[in-house]
Amino acid sequence: MGETPFHAVVVIGGGHAGVEAAWAAANMLGGEGTVGLVTLRADTVGTMSCNPAIGGLAKGQLVNEIDALGGLMALAADATGINFALLNRSRGPAVRGPRTQSDKHAYARAIRGMIAARPEIVSYEAAVESFLLEGDRVVGVRLGPGTGEVQLFPETIRAGAVVLTTGTFMRGLMHTGEQKTSGGRFGEGPSVGISAELQRLGFELGRLRTGTPPRLKKSTIAWDRLDVQPPDEMPEPFSTLTPLPGSVGTGWSVGPVRANRFPVLPPTACRKTSTAPDAHEFVRANLHRAPMFRGDLAPGPRYCPSIEDKVHRFAERTSHTVFLEPESLESDWVYCNGIATSLPADVQEVVVRTMPGCENAHVYRWGYAVEYDMVRPHQIEATGRTKRYAGLYLAGQINGTSGYEEAAAQGLVAGVNAALDAMGREPNFVLGRDEAYIGVLMDDLVTRTPVEPYRMFTSRAEHRLQLRSDNAPDRLTPHAMALGLLNTTDLGRQRAEAFASRQQDIESLRSIIAQTRVDGQPMAQALRRPDYDDARFGQDVAMAAGKPFDPRVLRAVSAEVRYEPYIQRQAGEVRRQREMERRRIPTHVDYRAMTSLRTEARQALDRFRPTTFGQASRLEGVTPADLTLLSVLVARLR
């Protein structure tokens, strides 16, 4: 292809981490440089490899934060969602999680369309074989053949900085019972050379695994016989740029992807079924054929266990819930959420056939486990930059995480810092644990090396009352503006204008709250009453202002006022936790007897026997909430 091309940033991998890294880097560069996106197959960019869903508990907050920082995921989810639901709706706003089932084919097209709309992002269908080094700095990559049809690529690409996002492809190996197939995803080969290159450069690698369930043919399921899991009647988008249903708004557009109304696609109901006792017995009789029980597999996700793991660990259970989720409006493939597995096909068939409604189901694809190489993340900084080599950043499952949202969040952070690096600026974009779930994620990765795929939970965030889904723009859009992430595209400028309008509404609402009385008491006090809900609050402020307010802004302000005493108390708890840093823990403490502590925390404390609370705070598996409870329990012992 002629002379060696140069890009300010080169991103390796076109998954959820890779596309966010490329998009963020392009936003940062603002036309002053280009981004090279290297992927094994161009037609798989943005693919939803496993569950076709975005968001959920804590994960939904990550999506909101990515959006507030100018990312892609929320926009693509809004444009392609077919089953929107707010999880934990009956609980407090700190633990609610927006989620949508997306049309997997439309989602990937949306991502590819948005990437293609940026001429400064140049794509290459190739594999990265090695890095170009100048001293202890990575300055480019050497390429080899990809797995797609196009095999025309330059031998080398030079770069100001490189972001590596390999997903599950580094020496990926898929398992279905005794059958093993090389690959990082069904039908796609592994990336082999990059693992050897990382080891040659001195990186410590680990091995993890994840799993996926069988896919069924919808028309062969007794669909109407099963319990319905409907979408919310009033769905709410992830992005602040997407107008609410029935509202007057211009929406947004990026290339061929538009959201001028919401929802964009017709809502679709899922169904619910369950595994059967006979299937459990058959699974138990065949556990010796499951790779994870033969010791053939690396550690997998504890919080998303396979069906064989569930049957083994929860022997008292006679059934487990399975959600049947349509993968797309364009096909009749159904994802069986709840029975991820590495079992042989004949065992999977028994599990499927004994589920109510699935007695005659046709199986399009059997489930499988995939194991892959990762780089132990104590070797990176919270910016995503590796400690060993300047100019090299890691993001996504290569750092030991699990989930689209965790990968996308890391990609955004790495993309921003790689662009800063390439521009000769200090790559110092780091969010604090009190600022964002993204900050919690990055801090956890670099201080608590995962021994299993890391998944975000609200319990990991000690400041979760402040890190709500409803206030993500207020927390993080100022960061995006300060960095310049919103200055270079029409979409970014539209986001900045929407943020300015939101801040005006928030100030108006605060003024109204300060000046208004409800039932003879200040509105701020009324908001803390259980009988004064957001609907009445919205009516009262609309009457006072002479206009309605965006429900999303109303909820954010309402939550701030309602939970202000708790937020202040939480701030005090954080100060006390800092003071506990040097407090000693008695050596005779029996952690196993502290049953009120989470099992994961008890195991970590019992194994490492920390002598101070400061040491305990840095143990993987011990959260700030665990430390608070441990302090109380130790005080009782004294």
On whether residue 249 sits in a domain, the answer given is no
**Residues 202 and 144 reside in one and the same domain:** yes
On whether residue 479 sits in a domain, the answer given is no
**Residues 405 and 503 reside in one and the same domain:** no
Nearest-angstrom CA–CA distance, 100 and 272: 16
**Residues 71 and 188 reside in one and the same domain:** yes
pLDDT range class, residue 65, cuts 50, 70, 90: very high
> Are the CB atoms for 174 and 22 separated by under 8 Å?
no
Taken in order 373, 378, 383, 385, the sign of the CA dihedral is negative
> Are the CB atoms for 216 and 204 separated by under 8 Å?
no
- Bridge pairing between strands 156-164 and 81-87: unpaired
**Strand order across the 173-176 sheet:** 179-182, 173-176, 368-375, 205-212
On whether residue 570 sits in a domain, the answer given is no
pLDDT of residue 250: 74
Surface-to-core class of residue 15, CB atoms within 10 Å of its CB (0-12 exposed, 13-18 middle, 19+ buried): buried
- 1, 59, 96, 354 from 458: Cα distances, Å: 49, 9, 9, 35
> Where is 99: in which H helix or E strand?
strand 97-102
On whether residue 489 sits in a domain, the answer given is no
Other Cβ atoms less than 10 A from the Cβ of 258: the count is 14
pLDDT of residue 6: 97
On whether residue 31 sits in a domain, the answer given is yes
Number of helical (H) and strand (E) elements in the chain, helices listed first? 20, 23
Percent of the chain with pLDDT over 90: 70
**Residues 144 and 24 reside in one and the same domain:** yes
In CATH, what number is assigned to the domain containing residue 65? 3.50.50.60
- Among 65, 108, 78, 98, residue whose Cα is nearest residue 251: 78
Farthest-apart Cα atoms in the chain, separation: 78
Percent of the chain with pLDDT over 70: 95
pLDDT of residue 151: 64
**Residues 430 and 522 reside in one and the same domain:** no
Domain finish residue from 315, 340, 366: 366
Q: What are the phi and psi torsion angles at 390 (to 5°)?
A: -70, 150
pLDDT of residue 231: 94
pLDDT range class, residue 145, cuts 50, 70, 90: confident
Q: Is the pLDDT of residue 30 over 80?
A: yes
**Residues 163 and 21 reside in one and the same domain:** yes
Over residues 425-464, the pLDDT tens digits come to 999 999 988 899 999 999 888 877 677 899 999 999 988 8
Integer Rg of the chain from CA: 25
Mean pLDDT taken over the chain = 91
Q: Quick one: DSSP state of residue 266?
A: P
Taken in order 551, 553, 556, 557, the sign of the CA dihedral is negative
**Residues 11 and 119 reside in one and the same domain:** yes
The reported pTM is 0.89
**Residues 457 and 524 reside in one and the same domain:** no
On whether residue 521 sits in a domain, the answer given is yes
The vertex-435 CA angle with 430 and 440, nearest 5°, equals 70
Residue type, 244: L
In CATH, what number is assigned to the domain containing residue 593? 1.10.150.570
Nearest-angstrom CA–CA distance, 318 and 280: 7
> Are the CB atoms for 564 and 517 separated by under 8 Å?
no
**Residues 124 and 40 reside in one and the same domain:** yes
Token reading at 113: 């369309």
**Residues 25 and 161 reside in one and the same domain:** yes
- The answer to which of 284-298, 395-409, 467-481 has the lowest mean pLDDT is 284-298
Surface-to-core class of residue 183, CB atoms within 10 Å of its CB (0-12 exposed, 13-18 middle, 19+ buried): buried
> Where is 540: in which H helix or E strand?
helix 534-545
pLDDT of residue 146: 72
Surface-to-core class of residue 43, CB atoms within 10 Å of its CB (0-12 exposed, 13-18 middle, 19+ buried): middle
Over residues 162-173, the pLDDT tens digits come to 999 998 888 888
pLDDT range class, residue 584, cuts 50, 70, 90: confident
- 152, 164, 377, 389, 538 from 128: Cα distances, Å: 14, 10, 21, 17, 54
Domain finish residue from 327, 346, 366: 366
pLDDT range class, residue 191, cuts 50, 70, 90: confident
- The answer to which of 315-324, 342-351, 567-576 has the lowest mean pLDDT is 567-576
pLDDT of residue 515: 95
Token reading at 532: 């004064």
pLDDT of residue 411: 98
| 3-state class (DSSP) for residue 119 | coil
Domain finish residue from 316, 342, 366: 366
* Number of domains present in the structure of the chain: 4
pLDDT of residue 295: 73
Over residues 386-421, the pLDDT tens digits come to 989 999 999 999 999 999 999 999 999 999 999 999
Over residues 92-103, the pLDDT tens digits come to 888 899 999 999
Over residues 211-270, the pLDDT tens digits come to 899 999 999 999 999 999 999 999 999 999 999 987 766 789 998 998 888 989 999 999
Instruction: Please state the rounded mean pLDDT for residues 194-207.
Output: 94
**Residues 382 and 311 reside in one and the same domain:** no
Which DSSP string do the residues of 417-478 spell out, in sequence order? HHHHHHTTS-------TTT-HHHHHHHHHHHS--SS-B---GGG-TTTTTS-STTHHHHHHH
Instruction: Please state the rounded mean pLDDT for residues 80-105.
Output: 93
Token reading at 37: 């996106």
Nearest-angstrom CA–CA distance, 362 and 334: 10
Q: Is the pLDDT of residue 582 over 70?
A: no
pLDDT of residue 320: 97
CA 28 to chain centre: 22
Instruction: Please state the rounded mean pLDDT for residues 110-122.
Output: 96
pLDDT of residue 609: 76
**Residues 104 and 204 reside in one and the same domain:** yes
Which residue range(s) make up the domain with 529?
A: 494-562
| 182, 187, 191, 192 alpha-carbon torsion, rounded to 10° | 20
> Where is 41: in which H helix or E strand?
none
β-strand partners of 229: 270
| 369, 373, 378, 384 alpha-carbon torsion, rounded to 10° | -100
In CATH, what number is assigned to the domain containing residue 360? 2.40.30.260
